[in-house]
Amino acid sequence: MRDPRLSEALPELIREGLLSPDQAERIRAHYQAGKEQVGNRQLLVFAILGSLLVGLGIILIIAHNWDDLPRSLRTLLAFVPVLLGQGLVWYTMRHRPTVVGWREGGAVLLACGLCACVALISQIHHIEGELSGYLLTCSLLIAPLLYLPGSFVVALGYLAFVTWYGTAVRSEGWGATDLPWMALPLLAIFVPYYLQRARQDGGSVGFWWLSLFAAVSFATISQLFYREWTMLHVLGLVALSAAFTLVPWFTSRPELRIWPWVLVGGLGQLVLFFIFSFRPVWEELLDEPVRTMGADAVPVAILLAIGAGAILLAARRRRPLERWPYPEGFILFLLAYMVGLASPSLAVVLINLALLAMGVVTVRHGIEQGSLRRMNLGLSVLSLTILLRFFDTDLSFVVRGLVFIAIGAGFLYMNMRLVRQRQQHESTK
Rounded to an integer, the average pLDDT of 53-64 is 64
Q: Return the pLDDT at 171.
A: 82
Q: Return the pLDDT at 176.
A: 47
> Would you call 68 helix, strand, or coil by DSSP?
helix
DSSP string of 147-186, one letter each residue: TTT--HHHHHHHHHHHHHHHHHHHHH--SSS---TTHHHH
Residue 55, phi-psi category: left (phi > 0), alpha (psi -120 to 50), beta (remainder): alpha
**No. of H helices and E strands in the chain?**
17, 0
Most confident of 75-79, 101-105, 160-164, 413-417: 160-164
Residue 279 lies in a domain: yes
Residue 286 lies in a domain: yes
Residue 409 lies in a domain: no
Residue 144 lies in a domain: no
Residue 206 lies in a domain: no
Residue 213 lies in a domain: no
* pLDDT at 100 exceeding the cut of 70: yes
Assign 33 a pLDDT band (cuts: 50, 70, 90): very low
Decide if 272 contacts 337 (C-beta within 8 A).
Answer: no
Spatial separation of the C-alpha atoms in residues 268 and 117, rounded to whole Å: 38
The torsion angles phi and psi of 65, rounded to 5 degrees, stand at: -115, 30
Instruction: Tell me, rounded to whole angstroms, the distance of Cα 280 from its chain centroid.
Output: 31
Average pLDDT taken over every residue of the chain = 82
Give the domain extent around 316: 226-385
Assign 1 a pLDDT band (cuts: 50, 70, 90): very low
Q: What is the pLDDT of residues 197-244, one digit of tens each?
A: 999 888 888 899 999 999 999 999 999 988 777 888 899 999 999 999
Q: What is the pLDDT of residues 365-391, one digit of tens each?
A: 888 888 888 888 888 898 888 888 877
Predicted TM-score (pTM) of the model is 0.81
* pLDDT at 418 exceeding the cut of 80: no
Spatial separation of the C-alpha atoms in residues 298 and 178, rounded to whole Å: 16
Number of neighbouring beta carbons within 10 Å of residue 7: 13
> Would you call 293 helix, strand, or coil by DSSP?
coil
Number of domains in the chain: 1
Residue 323, phi-psi category: left (phi > 0), alpha (psi -120 to 50), beta (remainder): left
* pLDDT at 43 exceeding the cut of 80: no
Q: What is the pLDDT of residues 142-200, one digit of tens each?
A: 999 999 888 888 999 999 999 999 999 988 755 546 789 999 999 999 999 999 999 98
Q: For residue 64, give Cα distances in angstroms to 58, 60, 109, 353.
A: 10, 6, 21, 64
Residue 361 lies in a domain: yes
Residue 309 lies in a domain: yes
